[in-house]
A = this chain, B = another copy of it.
């Protein structure tokens, strides 16, 4: 469905997404009705059904856009250089920034998978899988280059993603820490977790040796 932002229809659709993310994050998908959502947006329920024929269409759209947005943000943030340490830093920082700015959307994406139909669940899981594959690739290359210590690529990727996504559970941007400080601390933890500072010393590998000429 094309978005016609600026038109009344575009505004209704955008307002519906916003209101749906906030309501579902706070009350849960099952507890939110299209009627209640329409009330929140200030339109008749019939107006919502024009954009989202079913409540599940709406949920699926929210989740798909979340994952597509994350993938796009990562593609924009991904460094051109192939250095695994620089790519790991960019991955962690982008992931934290993206999710902290989209707490409701993250909650909905993580908590409401069970409400998707089987086919749509597969589509969302495929998007997730392809995003997570980027991190696995970074870890694998870092380990092969002797820059990282990675016992199990899959488990390490899951551990890092769950740790850095978890920021949204406790972090509030208006409190004692800025998102930059939080990202920096999590990056230090991630670098230690993959032995980024020690692998080199211990294995006596020259920094980024394989990427430099000479």
CB distance from A7 to the nearest CB of B (A): 34
Q: Does A69 contact B (CB under 8 A)?
A: no
CB distance from A24 to the nearest CB of B (A): 11
B-facing mask of A136-149, CB < 8 A → 1, else 0?
A: 00000000000001
Chain B residues whose C-beta falls within 8 Å of the C-beta of A160 in the assembled complex:
163
Taken together as a complex, chains A and B put the C-alpha atoms of A60 and B79 apart, in Å, by 47
Cβ contact within 8 Å between B166 and A162: yes
Q: Specify the chain B residue showing the minimal Cβ separation from A112.
A: B28
Taken together as a complex, chains A and B put the C-alpha atoms of A156 and B193 apart, in Å, by 12
Chain B residues whose C-beta falls within 8 Å of the C-beta of A163 in the assembled complex:
159-160, 162-163, 166
Chain B residues whose C-beta falls within 8 Å of the C-beta of A31 in the assembled complex:
30
User: Which range contains the number of A residues in contact with the other chain?
Assistant: 20 to 34
B-facing mask of A175-194, CB < 8 A → 1, else 0?
A: 00000001001101100111
Q: Does A2 contact B (CB under 8 A)?
A: no
Q: Does A151 contact B (CB under 8 A)?
A: yes
Cβ contact within 8 Å between A170 and B192: no
Taken together as a complex, chains A and B put the C-alpha atoms of A182 and B160 apart, in Å, by 15
Taken together as a complex, chains A and B put the C-alpha atoms of A165 and B159 apart, in Å, by 9
Taken together as a complex, chains A and B put the C-alpha atoms of A8 and B187 apart, in Å, by 54
Q: Does A29 contact B (CB under 8 A)?
A: yes
Cβ contact within 8 Å between A188 and B27: no
B-facing mask of A19-41, CB < 8 A → 1, else 0?
A: 00000001111110000000000
Which A residues are within 8 Å of any B CB, using their own CB?
A: 26-31, 111, 114-115, 149, 151-152, 155-156, 158-160, 162-163, 165-166, 169-170, 182, 185-186, 188-189, 192-195, 197-198
26 contacts between A and B (CB under 8 A): A26-B114, A28-B28, A28-B29, A28-B114, A28-B115, A30-B30, A30-B31, A111-B111, A149-B192, A151-B188, A151-B189, A152-B185, A155-B182, A155-B189, A158-B169, A159-B163, A159-B166, A159-B186, A162-B163, A162-B165, A166-B166, A192-B192, A192-B193, A192-B195, A193-B193, A198-B198
